[in-house]
Structure 1
């Protein structure tokens, strides 16, 4: 999407309160709320605590998780709690509170900023060394089947408790522990999907929402077809902005057709937006490869793979796989489909694709991405219920924010979500890529967020 590469820079200022792991023995049922509240070390104006939540919100399986939380000390903020949700799935929240606090400084006299390490991230990160090494911070890099199966085995049967719905239930316990009637939600990338799911589950508990780099509530397409179709538009816009004289869309089509490397190229292009939203080196590399000299492109592909290296504490690929497999719809169905028939279903779906579906890429790209392969070999797991696909968000003010150079969550997704958002304001920042609030050079998007949150 790349949902994993959520676009937030790692910053200092973390909580050190203890967090329990994958579910220690203890009574099932609701949590006891926040505990261990103390000043966040090295971070002025914030307190850190642990939110204790049940591993299984139904109470059928015993166990608890301790999730780190950072909270602004301005408990009487007139506009209440602003819960900022990071992406992935798999990215923690608390390590980013200092940086997000600086970006949101103009509104923090009115709002109390709160961030949380969602279950399976940060201090409770699901550990899958093989999958982590192969995928790093990407969700498009293809993993091996062995790495996927080893990861699922390492997590064990508890992998069924890491769907977005489980995180939504955790957030409702957080709201109660904070003692507020409603929260304002600001989500980035996968954080937008979490925010949407929370609003659908608890419509009366949301005051307003910022959705930055939007994943629609209908879910993520593991074939990434919207990004494939958007690539020509994005590359041509970037080319025009830097005055290049080539046609990067034609070059892209030629490269994929000649070298059959669509998965590698899409992975590299999607990652490159975090390096340079003008895609200058990538455009040059595509042109050289189309002319028969793929050396520069191959170097960029290898470089992006190396640059995507990340620890589980930075972005847990175990949590990433567990959540996407539970939440997703695949050619074979959902996570409870028998493993034996999945590959046949995938091959059948590939045969039904047309060039209009995948643009300059090919069917092999659509069916060979890490977002697909991570779940192809994921063991059969009970699938949690999902909200009705076309339920509309509650009628609260919503800001939909995106960059027109974003391939991780292309603008087409933003407009898909707009159809299901009754009171949507849309702001598109030209020249910006993924995660507008934290990464865009222009202040246009951040100013739009500030004005929206302050009701201007």
Structure 2
């Protein structure tokens, strides 16, 4: 946890009073008496004790919605074909529905848009079990995340159905189209051109960002500010009222954590469970979150190299060096038209978002990189095209930039690009440049910090996620404690975004929490 700046300390008399109160609490804790409730173990230096002996308010009721509140139709096979992903296992049913929400949640006379809902259940999911609401992010979207969950054994579904709520602007029901293709091309290659300097790339990206923002402002007719995490949190409240249930149980994945925590801040009494899987930094700047991703990519590539060598992959005895060679070729413009930005996107998408066993994703990427290293670029170009289709929609650009808040100035980006290229050699420099892509988008106020919570929070940490880093929860434990409850963490040593989506161990560790708000059964899950 970061230390508080001195300017936030209260005056000295107040500090002495606080110290005396603390001593009194410690003395009371040492005296004989009733056993204290168990504290949740955190990754931030030990347990966080209950703030007082006052009985905690009752947890909000977690109930199943009435039958017929939403009209579901079977869609599992269609979605598998659409996403090019394995069909759900034979015991799993995937169904789709839609929901109407106000474009402007604060306006009584607002126009409406349609959101996509997707539900997964298994043959042995108890009838009448309360659903877990999956909140995906801007990269790993809700529907894709749900399909990733159902593509393998999913013990989570033995306890509860899972309902994915697609974020506005994403998914088949509310697709947004407003970006000029020429400027999208500049965005995707991060302003690369033969001999282009860092300053020239930043200038090209800044110009493209302005054009992209203006084009979307024209097409969205003033609604471009309605794609924020706060607006997505308001959509969750529409789902709750549609279901007529007292509260929601939320499972966020990736930067869906921003939406889930925004909902907690707005409606603490309506959160029955809160699981943050691979969360991003809630209280950080756009630069902080981008650097977290660069750290995550570095950690992931180290793990990739180790596992690649163990698998006898196509990159030989020193996969790290081989990958470094490929990144150097991309930066030099000698990788068959695949630049550094495209290469970074292909690598992170394949390892973070693609479905399937880790060994399969490692092998696919290693084969493509090895081929490109020797002059056969087709497999890598195919991964680039797949990544563009997976994370390159207009809606993903809009939602990402809507959550960016205050963007760094061009000179700061240039400094970060130089520093991160040294600190994070696998794409750190171009990760900094990518921030300029959102430069023209209007800044919005970040969602407020949660002030109150009635249930503990679970954080599931993917240790090798190219899109974020476990350090993203720095400070979250303290913030949750200040809200009146505790944070528990479970780590997963595998590669990818979404520990719960990919690890049966992670899912099983959640069971005591989901059923009884009890501590997890394990603190770490193997790869």
CA change 1:446–1:366 in 2 (3 A) is same
Instruction: Report 1:55-74 matches (<5 A).
Output: 55-59=103-107, 62-69=110-117
How far apart are residue 396 of structure 1 and its match? 2.2
How far apart are residue 195 of structure 1 and its match? 1.2
**252-261 vs 191-200, which deviates more?**
252-261
Distance 2:380 2:414 in 1: 25
Q: Paired residue for 2:271, among 195, 198, 206? A: 206
Distance 2:510 2:278 in 1: 13
CA change 1:448–1:162 in 2 (3 A) is same
SS at match of 1:446: helix
How far apart are residue 165 of structure 1 and its match? 0.8
CA change 1:125–1:229 in 2 (3 A) is same
Distance 2:224 2:151 in 1: 35
Contact 2:343 / 2:384 at 8 angstroms: preserved in 1?
A: no
2:20 paired residue number: none
SS at match of 2:286: coil
TM-score (structure 2 length as normaliser):
0.61
Deviations 1:263-321, CA, capped at 9 Å, x for gaps = 334223212314574645656877898xxx5636x5554232212243xxx87833222
Contact 1:193 / 1:217 at 8 angstroms: preserved in 2?
A: yes
2:341 paired residue number: 263
How far apart are residue 185 of structure 1 and its match? 0.4
Distance 1:132 1:203 in 2: 44
2:396 paired residue number: 320
Contact 1:256 / 1:360 at 8 angstroms: preserved in 2?
A: no
Contact 2:418 / 2:429 at 8 angstroms: preserved in 1?
A: no
1:431 paired residue number: 494
Q: Paired residue for 2:71, among 38, 47, 61? A: 38
Pair 1:115 & 2:187 matched: no
Q: What's the C-alpha RMSD, in Å, of the aligned pairs?
A: 4.3
1:245 paired residue number: 317
Larger-Rg structure: 2
Q: Paired residue for 1:359, among 409, 423, 427? A: 423
CA change 1:317–1:388 in 2 (3 A) is same
Distance 1:48 1:450 in 2: 26
Unaligned runs of 5+ in 2: 1-66, 77-91, 192-204, 311-315, 333-338, 522-527
How far apart are residue 126 of structure 1 and its match? 1.0
Distance 1:177 1:399 in 2: 26
CA change 1:323–1:230 in 2 (3 A) is closer
Unaligned runs of 5+ in 1: 1-33, 333-344
2:248 paired residue number: 183
Deviations 1:313-361, CA, capped at 9 Å, x for gaps = x8783322222222213445xxxxxxxxxxxx21344236663686144
Distance 1:263 1:401 in 2: 29
1:336 paired residue number: none
**125-134 vs 186-195, which deviates more?**
125-134
Equivalenced residue count is 392
CA change 1:225–1:285 in 2 (3 A) is farther
Distance 1:84 1:72 in 2: 10
How far apart are residue 410 of structure 1 and its match? 2.6
